[in-house]
Protein backbone atom coordinates (compact mmCIF):
# COMPACT_ATOMS: atom_id res chain seq x y z
CA UNK A 1 0.00 0.00 0.00
CA UNK A 2 1.35 3.40 -0.97
CA UNK A 3 2.08 6.06 1.59
CA UNK A 4 -0.79 8.48 2.00
CA UNK A 5 -0.23 12.22 1.73
CA UNK A 6 -0.46 14.41 4.80
CA UNK A 7 -3.61 16.03 3.42
CA UNK A 8 -5.39 12.69 3.22
CA UNK A 9 -4.51 11.91 6.81
CA UNK A 10 -5.63 15.34 8.01
CA UNK A 11 -8.90 15.03 6.12
CA UNK A 12 -9.58 11.61 7.60
CA UNK A 13 -8.81 12.84 11.11
CA UNK A 14 -11.04 15.85 10.63
CA UNK A 15 -13.88 13.63 9.45
CA UNK A 16 -13.50 11.38 12.46
CA UNK A 17 -13.44 14.39 14.76
CA UNK A 18 -16.58 15.79 13.12
CA UNK A 19 -18.50 12.55 13.39
CA UNK A 20 -17.45 12.25 17.02
CA UNK A 21 -18.66 15.77 17.78
CA UNK A 22 -22.04 15.23 16.20
CA UNK A 23 -23.14 13.17 19.19
CA UNK A 24 -23.11 16.02 21.68
CA UNK A 25 -25.87 18.58 21.07
CA UNK A 26 -24.71 22.13 21.64
CA UNK A 27 -21.37 21.49 20.01
CA UNK A 28 -20.43 24.13 17.48
CA UNK A 29 -21.16 21.81 14.57
CA UNK A 30 -24.63 20.86 15.70
CA UNK A 31 -25.47 24.49 16.39
CA UNK A 32 -24.29 25.51 12.94
CA UNK A 33 -26.34 22.74 11.35
CA UNK A 34 -29.44 23.82 13.25
CA UNK A 35 -28.85 27.40 12.22
CA UNK A 36 -28.55 26.40 8.58
CA UNK A 37 -31.71 24.38 8.81
CA UNK A 38 -33.52 27.39 10.28
CA UNK A 39 -32.29 29.61 7.47
CA UNK A 40 -33.45 27.08 4.90
CA UNK A 41 -36.89 26.94 6.48
CA UNK A 42 -37.12 30.70 6.65
CA UNK A 43 -36.68 30.99 2.89
CA UNK A 44 -39.82 29.03 2.12
CA UNK A 45 -42.09 30.29 4.86
CA UNK A 46 -44.62 32.88 3.80
CA UNK A 47 -45.75 35.25 6.53
Residue 1 lies in a domain: no
Q: Residue 36: which domain range?
A: 6-44
Is residue 38, in this structure, part of any structural domain at all?
A: yes
In a domain, 32, yes or no: yes
Q: Which residues, in sequence order, are CB contacts of 28 under 8 Å at separation 6+?
A: 21
Q: Mean pLDDT, 10 residues at a time, over the chain (47 residues)?
A: 73 77 63 77 67
- Tell me, what's the pLDDT at 26? 62
- Domain-embedded: residue 15: yes
| pLDDT at 25 (0 to 100) | 61
pTM over 0.85: no
CB 8 within 8 A of CB 14: no
Looking at residue 22, what is its pLDDT?
60
Helices (H), 1-47: 6-21, 28-44
In a domain, 14, yes or no: yes
Total of domains in the chain: 1
pLDDT, position 28: 66
Answer whether 21's CB lies under 8 Å from 27's CB.
yes
Q: Are 18 and 27 in contact (CB under 8 A)?
A: no
Amino acid sequence: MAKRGARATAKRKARIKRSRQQQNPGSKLVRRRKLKKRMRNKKHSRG
